Amino acid sequence: MSLWENIKMALMSVKAHKMRSILTMLGIIIGVAAVIVVVAIGQGGEAMLKSQIAGDGNTIEVFYQPSEEEMQQGKWEENPFTQEDIRQLEGIEKVSNVVASSSEFSTARLREEETETSITGINEAYLDVNQLKVEKGRSFTSADFLGGRRVAIVSAAMQEELFEGKSPIGEIIRIGVQPVEVIGVLEKPTGLFAFGSVETYIPWTAMRNMLGTSNYSQVTLQVENADDIQPIGERATTVLNQLHDTDDSYQVINMEEIAQGIGQVTTIMTTIIGSIAGISLLVGGIGVMNIMLVSVTERTREIGIRKSLGATRQQILLQFLVESIILTLIGGIIGIILGAGTAYLVSFFADWPSLISWQVVLGAVLFSMLIGVAFGLLPANKASRLDPIDSLRYE
């Protein structure tokens, strides 16, 4: 007797007792759905946290943090990245952009109004890599950077502060005593950790001309492939430490370690909640065993008939085992659909990403089948051991 024959038979038997089958499956359905939801939300949260901490995953900031020894030797620099440094960094393989900037606080004036603002002198890659979009007016051109033109792009908060919401395009503001023409306004930032601050961006070359800033204070590398981030970051620090003849003043934060830390925390959380959900799967499995035992008793005569017609013990065993596997498998599949739907709803209404990986789905299917086997064995074994004579007489 083929397996397909057994599966068809099992499906028929499941269909014959619709209500009972659904109730039996319910435990499995709820268990699987709960596990899927918990894991999906856990993994989604992990991915969100990681992306927020590590940015979009393909940028890495280089820090300047000289050792105390070097500080005492007077090696400390306010703007530790030279233009030569930037050129060298740009020469590193797989680095797609080097974002460099230097910023300081200053007062900006428009006629009688004035406000404190951070003035950031940026290089050409800055706006793109930091995903700052110009909403009104125009962005910087290469000519602005090359010529050190005194043009500025202001944040939305700055527009509120200094221009009282009116269009600042074309206005001349004074930074310190230097006049700068406003050419654009940035989009308001969105997202969980974003707040609008009062900012003014000008080409770094303009800043050098205006304020005498000699070097860059901040450098961020953008790499082509997020996987290469760590080795390229390390390479950059080596290059910089060599150029400046320093030991370990130029550093990168090990994003992998941070991501791993977050991963560990969320994995532990997901495991704990997931195993609580898993208990309901266990209870569901016991429900399946219970019903299968009832079913064996109820079908004693059927078993007797089948045995008298030549069914072996193995064939009877397989019949009932397949039946319990089918029950749990169908329950598992319904649970997956239900769980995926719930996870989707949660992420839709709670604005929390959920991630349903194929591994979890496959795991849920296999696990519910495993439950079918584990909790089906006892009833199936009982069925297979029934004596044909007694079973035929069973009323």
Partner 1 sequence: MIQLEEITKSYTLGKEAVNVLRGISLQIKSGEFVAIMGPSGSGKSTLMNIIGCLDRPTTGSYFLNEEDVSQHKDHELAKVRNQSIGFVFQQFQLLPRLTALKNVELPMVYAGASKQEREERARDALAKVGLQDRVGHLPNELSGGQKQRVAIARALVNDPSLILADEPTGALDTATSVAIMDLFVQLNQEGTTIVVVTHEPEVAEYASRVIYVRDGLLGQNPLEKGGQTS
> Would you count residue 19 as binding partner 1 (CB under 8 A)?
no
Residue placing its CB nearer to partner 1 in the complex, 202 or 296:
296
> Would you count residue 264 as binding partner 1 (CB under 8 A)?
no
What number of chain residues touch partner 1 (CB under 8 A)?
21
Sole window of 24-32, 106-114, 171-179, 297-305 interacting with partner 1 (rule: CB under 8 A) = 297-305
Closest residue by Cα to residue 182 from 166, 205, 196: 166
> Would you count residue 313 as binding partner 1 (CB under 8 A)?
yes
Residue placing its CB nearer to partner 1 in the complex, 29 or 383:
383
Crossing angle, helix 3-16 and helix 313-349, to 10 degrees?
60
For 79-84, which contacts have Cβ atoms below 8 Å and span 24 or more sequence positions? Answer: 79/213, 79/214, 79/215, 79/216, 79/217, 80/215, 80/216, 80/217, 80/244, 80/249, 80/250, 81/215, 81/216, 81/217, 81/218, 81/219, 81/240, 82/215, 82/216, 82/243, 83/215, 83/216, 84/243
Q: Which of 136, 208, 301, 382 binds partner 1 (CB under 8 A)?
A: 301
> Would you count residue 16 as binding partner 1 (CB under 8 A)?
yes
> Would you count residue 11 as binding partner 1 (CB under 8 A)?
no
User: Exposed e or buried b for every residue in 103-112, given b needs 16+ CB within 10 A?
Assistant: beebebbbee
**296 CB neighbour count, 10 Å cutoff:** 22
> Would you count residue 35 as binding partner 1 (CB under 8 A)?
no
> Would you count residue 309 as binding partner 1 (CB under 8 A)?
yes
Sole window of 76-84, 202-210, 225-233, 312-320 interacting with partner 1 (rule: CB under 8 A) = 312-320
> Would you count residue 311 as binding partner 1 (CB under 8 A)?
yes
Q: Which of 278, 302, 344, 346 binds partner 1 (CB under 8 A)?
A: 302
> Would you count residue 253 as binding partner 1 (CB under 8 A)?
no
> Would you count residue 8 as binding partner 1 (CB under 8 A)?
no
Per the CB < 8 A criterion, the answer to whether 79 and 204 are in contact is no
Sole window of 228-236, 329-337, 344-352, 386-394 interacting with partner 1 (rule: CB under 8 A) = 386-394
Sole window of 120-128, 145-153, 303-311, 356-364 interacting with partner 1 (rule: CB under 8 A) = 303-311
SS3 375: helix
SS3 98: strand
Per the CB < 8 A criterion, the answer to whether 348 and 40 are in contact is no
Q: Which of 165, 191, 212, 310 binds partner 1 (CB under 8 A)?
A: 310
x-or-dash string of contact with partner 1, 346-375, rule CB under 8 A: ------------------------------
Closest residue by Cα to residue 82 from 208, 229, 175, 268: 208
> Would you count residue 166 as binding partner 1 (CB under 8 A)?
no
Residue placing its CB nearer to partner 1 in the complex, 177 or 309:
309
- Angstrom CA distances, 225 to 114, 131, 222, 231, 232, stand at 44, 17, 9, 11, 10
Q: Name the site residues for partner 1 (rule: CB under 8 A).
A: 1, 5, 12, 16, 301-302, 304-315, 388-389, 392
